[in-house]
Amino acid sequence: MQRRRFLEGVAGTTTAAGLAAADEAGSQTADGPIRTHEGHDDTVSELYFDSTCSLLDADGAPLASDDHVAVRAADTATVTDEDGNGDAQPYGDAGAPALVTVADGAVGIGAPFVTDDTDFTAGNDEFLLNVWEELIGGGTVLWDEGHDQYYTADEFGSFTDRAAELGYTVESTTELTADLDGAAALVITSPSNPYTDAELSAIQSFRDDGGTVVLHSQSDYNNFDETDNINAVAAALALPFRFDDCQVVDEQNNAGSFFQPVTTNFVGRDAFFTTRDGVATGPAFDPTQEYTAEIVEAADGDTFTVTFPDREGGEEEVRVLGVDTPEVPAAAGAEDPTEWEGPGTRCGHDDWSRTATPGCTTPATRATTTCSRRSCRPVRPAAASGGKATRRNRGDCATVPSSNWCSRRR
């Protein structure tokens, strides 16, 4: 995969449910009342950030003040220099890393945040819909796809479909300056190609005329971030925030892996965090329980389509955590052994992928598996909070011996 999208890590860490209640100060800024929201029935439960960077002030220093911050990571989160280029900015005594900022007609989010593989049982979709409602309020939302972005609008289909139901018109564009006229908002995800001076001027004029600009960055894992290019937009708008070239990690409060921090450290406008109808999800699962699932189909050694005989709902595609097995030949381009620690090339992923059997049907397709949230993640959002395979009867479906399984790195 070109980008890390739910690249499932070894699970077993806790989520934000164990966070201590934070102080409710009730202070006031130009952006609205500031308070933490944990423990309020009408507040989203938690927010989930998969592969996120932090945000800094305009001078590249940590955002110590909450003046423009809407969401911070949990106090247990830290900043790392994942790509090793030495330019990550530690937060140190400045508090928990800022993950979302709102200021001057713009929103900065350190992660893609609501892609189709997001765990929508967290409050991400509700939060961002609230932000759109508060700052945009309807109309056409233009999605820039003219700068070689990986995260196009298609990657956010579940969210944009829900936005359309609420009256928004989401339109992709590769002709930014020509299409801004008449739009209410502009969404920019990590741009691989820089914006021209004319484009930056057009974006500035758009914002100055009342348009809203929503900026999504991402962590510097594998150097996939395009921090300089997205910060050029923030600079052109003279915003009081910038994106850091870093990765925020949390070993204690995460959605299964350290690079997937979850938080209830909400410090922005109350209206941003109110519960609402968001993206529809499948039947709720209790993350502390195990469920019995029947394997319908095996895509490869670690990805399966399953059903839950004792529960309502259709098929769900899940991926086992903690192992990686070769792709079948048709999907050989998805092989990336460098993402895994362990025996390295001795895993033989490339060799095994050339001999793996696609479309395995028996006996594993009728096998049952014990499922829990901690050891698998969904490939699509419908089962995002639910039972994920922890083990399976591989039978004739094995594509690589268990002795060749590598330990998951990220």
pLDDT in single tens digits along all 410 residues of the chain: 233 333 332 232 233 332 222 333 333 333 333 333 344 468 998 999 999 999 999 999 999 999 999 999 999 999 999 888 888 999 989 899 999 999 999 999 999 999 988 878 889 999 999 999 999 999 999 999 999 999 999 999 999 999 999 999 999 999 999 999 999 999 999 999 999 999 999 999 999 999 999 999 999 988 877 899 999 999 999 999 999 999 999 999 999 899 999 999 999 889 999 999 898 765 556 666 777 778 777 776 677 777 777 666 566 767 666 556 666 566 565 555 544 444 333 344 445 444 544 443 333 333 455 554 444 444 333 223 233 322 222 222 222 222 222 222 22
8 Å CB contact between 266 and 340: no
pLDDT of residue 313: 57
Q: Residue 117's pLDDT is what?
A: 84
Q: What ranges do the domains of the chain cover? A: 20-273, 291-408
pTM: 0.67
Q: ω before 358 within 30° of 0 (cis)?
A: no
| pLDDT at residue 108 in the model | 98
Cβ-Cβ contacts under 8 Å for 154 (sequence gap 6 or more): none
Q: How many Å apart are CA 286 and CA 18, to the nearest integer?
A: 16
